[in-house]
Amino acid sequence: MSIHKLSLCDLQKKFTAGEVSAVEIVRAYALRIGQVESKVRAYVNQAQDSAFTQADALDQQLKQWRKTKPLMGMPFAIKDNICTEGVPTTCSSRMLQQFVPPYDATVIAKLREESYLLLGKTNLDEFAMGSSTENSAFGPSRNPWDLHRVPGGSSGGSAAAVAADECVAALGSDTGGSIRQPAAFCGVVGLKPTYGRVSRYGLVAFASSLDQIGPITKDVRDAACVLGVIAGHDPLDSTSADVPVPDYMKALAKKDLKKLRVGVPKEFFTEGLDPEVDHAVKAAIEELKTLGAELKDIQLPRTDAAVAVYYVLATAEASSNLARFDGVKFGLRAKETKDLLDLYMKTRQEGFGLEVKRRIMLGTYVLSAGYYDAYYGKAQAVRTLICQDFDAAFKEVDLIVTPATPTPAFKLGEKSEDPLQMYLSDIFTISVNLAGLPAIAVPCGFSKSGLPIGLQLIGRPFEEDTILRAAHAYEQATEWHLKKPVIR
């Protein structure tokens, strides 16, 4: 099989056995990127030259030493809101078009420690605000399964790069579904870890109480492998949790799901759910039962409040976080301004795109005097109720299964004029962020027109091992993850 088609774990095996060198790996991916990138447009910035240099150095080193680390020589794509020292990090915004971070995010430092290879930085909705990559200042990425459709977002470039075999694995970030929704749209695996499981240091902040970095990969084993490297406490992120990191690869060993109690929330199977998605997800749930899981109907009664809560809290936090982009210390500065206030106003006018401005406006509004209690306070209280729904459900079940998205990938331009409709496309992923839970999206079928459909498994806090194990057992029993798009 061609190198670019291999999963991370399979490529790793070949590399460890000396069957393929690091330079050969980068060459294979450079060739693949050359073939499809002009159509997919997953990358904002490529780093092939430095990848070749690093790969060559690694091959020289390995003549003396043995390969020991799991991600050594593995070619990654990184969402362009994760800081990489010396490599531009733009957040797909004009505001940061020239920004070169002076330090690495903690997740990048951990990957570097493994001697991973950086192929490039991937496209996103500007500052991770969006569900389609159409809000990128550099133009949208395309869905490898249908180039007229969106790859999802905001980590759309990362999901498209994995689906198109333009990298072996990628990192994304997930604030309201930004890893899982694009993974579902592109037919790959996307894992959002528990809030606090992975350090956010060096992730450009959008909504700090919701943001979390996670892997986007070709299969569940690869997700377990990458999570094992990036997870763990970090003194540089005071919200990162000091909880031991289990061996996620070991958790996959158990192949059946006997005694696992799986909850099916009826609120996720209502009007608005595409019939083909409904069908595929219900078939997947039956498969979990065949594997030994005990199914149980559960209720998450406040599910329909999640989008409203999210768009108050996330925009409020964003309006505060994005105040730092003022043209003073880094990023864009507007020219010919008459005083400091004018410099702020014009810099932010020129630097931010429409959706980012809209969210800053909404967030500022809900925090402003007279509206704080009615909107922000109310949303925080309903967030508590949503958390209570999950707490109650997890007393009865060990994991919860839902569709990842209400529909397969939509067409470019289909929702870009109607912000509320775009927001509602995240309806199945958002409540997980509000409750800080881990969740994974895995391929579970295709629509008649050949678009991937995603299944979402949600676990208790810090029980990534349980959702990975269930997702892996499902994946072993099916072949959806082995299908590859024909890019044309």
Partner 1 sequence: MQVTKGDVEKVASLARLHVTESEKDAFAKQLSQILTHVEQLNRYETAGVEPTTTVMGQVNVFRDDVVRPPLPVEKALANAPEREGDGFGVPKILEER
Instruction: Kindly list the residues in this chain that would bind partner 1 in the complex (CB under 8 A).
Output: 98-100, 102-103, 195-196, 209, 235, 238-239, 241, 302, 304-305, 307-309, 311-312, 319, 323, 326-333, 337, 339-341, 343-346, 348-349, 352, 354, 357-358, 360-362, 364-366, 368, 375, 377-385, 387, 419-420, 423, 434-436, 461
| Nearest residue (CB) to partner 1, 335 versus 488 | 335
Q: What share of the chain is helix, strand, coil (3-state, %, to 5)?
A: 45, 15, 45
Q: Quote the least distance from Cβ 443 to partner 1, whole Å.
A: 28
350 vs 414, which CB is nearer to partner 1? 350
Write the DSSP assignment of 358-415 as a string of letters: HHHHHHHHHHSTTTIIIIIIHHHHHHHHHHHHHHHHHHH-SEEEEESSSSSPPBTTSS
Spatial CA neighbour of 399 closest among 433, 351, 446, 440:
440
**DSSP assignment, residue 267?**
G
- Least distance in Å: CB of 453 to partner 1? 27
- The nearer residue to partner 1, 280 or 309, going by C-beta atoms, is 309
Amino acid (1-letter code) at residue 353: G
Minimum Å distance from CB 158 to partner 1?
Answer: 24
Minimum distance of partner 1 from residue 343's CB (angstroms): 6
Q: Which residues belong to the active site?
A: 79, 154, 178
235 vs 450, beta carbon nearer partner 1? 235
What is the C-alpha separation between 452 and 42, in angstroms, rounded?
18
Pick the closest to residue 395 from 273, 241, 217, 261 (CA basis): 261
Both structure tokens of 248: 């996620």
Tokens of 70: 């799991």
Q: Quick one: 235 or 413, whose CB is closer to partner 1?
A: 235
SS3 223: helix
Q: How far is the CB of 379 from partner 1 (least distance, A)?
A: 6
| DSSP string computed for 161-181 | HHHTTSSSEEEEE-SSSTTHH
User: Which contiguous run of DSSP H or E holds residue 282?
Assistant: helix 275-290
Instruction: Pick the closer one to partner 1 by CB: 77 or 309.
Output: 309
Closest to partner 1 by CB, 51 or 434: 434
Q: Which residues pair with 213 in a beta bridge?
A: 173
3-state secondary structure of 297: strand
Six-digit token string for 442: 């895995």
Compute and round to an integer the Cα radius of gyration of the chain. 21
Under DSSP, the state recorded for 259 is: T
Least separation in angstroms between residue 280's CB and partner 1 is: 29
State the nearest-atom distance from the C-beta of 75 to partner 1, in Å.
27
